């Protein structure tokens, strides 16, 4: 059995995925998606000479990298002792999760509401569920 955990700030989702992996003797993959859609969301400032957009995008990238490091470290510590791996990918969050699911998982575990990048203001769940061929466990 293979379990995919969509990593965000939800410690409860991490704990549920690990519990399920232990119960089922399953392999657990934690995936953290670096949201690459900020440049689309904020538009552009090509007329201003301030480079405010570029500075903001650099800031967001640094924050995303720091959050990825923090969440993956938390996942790795908690998942010690069970077969697991962690992945960091960049892209549109629901698309990246759906692509990973397409490689063959039995269940997806994710926090609900899912809090990752711009998905805080968008609802990624319908898009992920539409393309999912496996069960989904939502953890509040």
Domain ranges of the chain: 2-139
User: Who wins on pLDDT, 40 or 136?
Assistant: 136
DSSP strand pairing (2-6 vs 107-111): parallel
pTM of the model: 0.89
Alpha helices in 9-135 (DSSP H): 11-24, 38-41, 52-78, 93-101, 125-130
What's phi and psi for 43, nearest 5 deg?
Answer: 75, -150
3-state secondary structure of 107: strand
Confidence check: pLDDT of 46 > 60: no
pLDDT for residue 101 = 96
User: Who wins on pLDDT, 33 or 48?
Assistant: 33
User: Who wins on pLDDT, 37 or 4?
Assistant: 4
Confidence check: pLDDT of 45 > 60: no
Q: How far is CA 94 from CA 17, 52, 58, 116, in A?
A: 19, 28, 22, 10
Fold category of 2-139 in CATH: Rossmann fold (3.40.50)
User: Who wins on pLDDT, 129 or 21?
Assistant: 21
pLDDT for residue 35 = 87
Per the listing, tokens 């269940």 go with: 107
pLDDT digits (tens, 9 = 90+) for 77-130: 999 999 999 999 999 889 999 999 999 999 999 998 888 866 655 678 888 888
Range name among 17-26, 41-50, 60-69, 102-111 with the lowest pLDDT average: 41-50
């Amino acid at each position: 059995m293979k379990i995919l955990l969509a990593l965000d700030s939800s410690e409860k989702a991490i704990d549920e995925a690990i519990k399920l992996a232990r119960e089922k003797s399953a392999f657990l993959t934690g995936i953290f998606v670096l949201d690459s859609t900020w440049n689309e969301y904020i538009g552009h400032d090509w007329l201003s000479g301030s480079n405010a957009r570029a500075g903001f995008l650099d800031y967001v990238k640094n924050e995303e990298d720091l959050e990825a490091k923090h969440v993956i470290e938390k996942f790795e510590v908690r998942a010690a002792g069970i077969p697991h791996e962690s992945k960091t990918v960049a892209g549109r969050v629901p698309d990246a999760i759906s692509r990973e699911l397409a490689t063959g998982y039995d269940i997806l575990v994710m926090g609900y509401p899912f809090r990752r990048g711009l998905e805080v203001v968008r609802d990624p769940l319908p898009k992920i569920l539409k393309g999912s061929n496996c069960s989904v466990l939502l953890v509040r």
